[in-house]
Structure formats: C-alpha cells, structure tokens
Amino acid sequence: MEIKRVGVIGAGQMGSGIAHVCALAGYDVLLNDVDPDALERALETITSNMNRQVSREKIAGEDRDAALGRIRTTETLGELGETDLVIEAATERESVKDAIFAELVPHLGSGTILTSNTSSISITRLASKTDRPEKFMGFHFMNPVPVMSLVELIRGIATDEETFEACQSVVERLGKTASVAEDFPAFIVNRILMPMINEAVYVLYEGVGGVASIDKAMKLGTNHPMGPLELADFIGLDTCLSIMNVLHDGLADTKYRPCPLLTKYVEAGWLGRKSQRGFYDYRGEKPVPTR
C-alpha cells in the first residue's frame, strides 16, 4: 500500500504541523478547514517555521521551497477523496469527529486509510461509525509536531495489519519514532501526563504552592523543560479538561476526577496561551501567574 497523497483535516496548531512534516517528507498534502482564515494562518505558520529551520540549517532552502509547493488547501472536505491517507486533526470532541467522517467517507476510494490525531478518544468507537474500521487507526502526533519525534500509533479492534504497516512506514518516512499503544482511554502519553497536570492543579487548588512555585519545583526538582501548569497553558486547559473527562468516564476511577479549579478556568474562558490567560496571564511583556 503506497501512500503518496496525504489529506489533513483541521488547520490549527496540530494540523498545520502535520502538514508541515508531511510536505517536507515528500508527500503531496491537501490541508482542509471550514475557515478560510485558518487555512491562511496555517500557511503563514508553516512558512515561518520552515524559514526558521532554514536559518538554523536544519533544512535547505530548496527543500523548504519544494515542500511549500506540495501543500494545497481546500474548504471542501470531499476533495480529500483524492488522497491515500487522511489524518483528522480537528477539535477534540467526538461528535465533531463523527460528523467529519460521516461527511467524508462517501468521497473516499476503497483503499484510503482513515486516521485520527485524537489524544484520548476511543479509536475503535470512531472507526465503528465509518465504512472502513479495518482501515482506521489512531495517528497521534505530539505538539509541536515539527519538533517532537514521537508518534503514537493506536490500533482499533478491527485495524488490519496492512493498515498498521502502512502507517508505520509513514512515521518512518517522516523521520519520527512510533510508539504502539493499545486502544484504552488517553493511550500512553496522556494517560501518564494528564493526571500529573491535574494533580499539579490540585496542589494549586489546595494552596500547597502557587503557580510559580509549582512550576519551579518541577522544572528544577525533576528536570522537566516546562512546569506542569505552564505546559497545561501550552496544551490548552480545555484540552486538558477534555482528556481528564475521557479518563474519568472511560476508566471509572476517582483518581482521574478533574480538579474543580481546572473546570473553573475553562468555564471562565481562561484556556491558556491561545486565549492569553490561563494559569499565567500572557497579555503583558512577560507571563505573570494568575494565582
């Protein structure tokens, strides 16, 4: 199963990053979003990030130019029917993903592989609502995609071996490393990472330490490059809460109960960097803790 053309659904931070690395690896990329402004911003971001790679001598200028020439955009989901592999990177809400696949499937060729970049939702359940559960996989990139080397590959219960091997080959061609995870809530990375972030929010909630103290303790005490609250702001507090809810609902264990303070921040619209306020306030020259 040779993959030459890749469709990416969603032109946000993850989708633009996935389009970036796929184009650099030599794939023809069709990037889709319902918002034309999002597509324009994505192309600007991809160009800026590739320029940074050129300036740091990570890639050659001619490779950048060739990669940018391989990316096309479309607001019409059905146009992705011409691709060999589709990577869905839309909002982390199951109802949104289900609606996207329902609209897309009638346009696909029989051999097209469908994948989702979901960070927590059941691959088996998503696949069961399509016409090709045997050609459906989880393809979970880490953020920021051009920098992070890991991709989690998650098989649904029906995923066949040919589909798995094709996706594994794509990961290798991207110059990344695959970690194979079973289809349980939040897979490997977020099953471990999100409860740690949630516990950091509990430490803040209970007054054990302030935002700056908690992040400093984890950066200097455990050699993490970012503190857990800074990382939560980078990921998006709404995404963190969504994954904790998936864990709590899917595993029925109270240790995964989202911290009420995390819920409160999301209800306030303080979602982290993307909204300019979260555990830090980003509206000034330097981030300032909000608690």
Q: Is 1 annotated as a binding residue?
A: no
32, 49, 94, 152: the active-site residue:
152
In a shared domain, residues 150 and 215:
no
One-letter amino acid identity for 122?
A: S
Q: What is the pLDDT of residue 190?
A: 95
Reported as a single tens digit per residue, the pLDDT across 114-172 is 999 999 999 999 999 999 999 999 999 999 999 999 999 999 999 999 999 999 999 99
Cβ within 8 Å of residue 252, ≥6 positions away:
none
Q: Is 10 annotated as a binding residue?
A: yes
In a shared domain, residues 145 and 210:
no
140, 198, 230, 242: the active-site residue:
140
32, 117, 119, 120: the active-site residue:
119
Question: Domain with 277 in it: what CATH number?
Answer: 1.10.1040.10
Reported as a single tens digit per residue, the pLDDT across 28-85 is 999 999 999 999 999 999 999 999 999 999 999 999 999 999 999 999 999 999 999 9
Question: Is 190 considered catalytic here?
Answer: yes
Range of the domain at 273: 191-289
Q: Is 119 annotated as a binding residue?
A: yes
SS3 142: coil
Q: What is the pLDDT of residue 23?
A: 98
Q: What is the pLDDT of residue 201?
A: 98
Average pLDDT over residues 176-194: 96
16, 190, 198, 242: the active-site residue:
190
Q: What is the pLDDT of residue 195?
A: 98
Cβ within 8 Å of residue 32, ≥6 positions away:
7, 8, 9, 10, 11, 73, 74, 75, 76, 77, 79, 80
Average pLDDT over residues 253-276: 97
Q: What is the pLDDT of residue 290?
A: 97
Domain boundary among 154, 182, 210: 182
Q: How confident is the model at residue 220 (pLDDT cuts 50, 70, 90)?
A: very high
Is residue 1 over pLDDT 90?
no
One-letter amino acid identity for 283?
A: R
d(CA 152, CA 154): 6
Q: Is 143 annotated as a binding residue?
A: yes
Q: Give the total residue count for the chain.
A: 291
Question: Is 140 considered catalytic here?
Answer: yes
Q: Is 92 annotated as a binding residue?
A: yes
Question: Is 119 considered catalytic here?
Answer: yes
Q: What is the pLDDT of residue 164?
A: 97
Domain boundary among 151, 182, 213: 182
Is residue 232 over pLDDT 80?
yes
Question: Domain with 104 in it: what CATH number?
Answer: 3.40.50.720
Average pLDDT over residues 179-203: 97
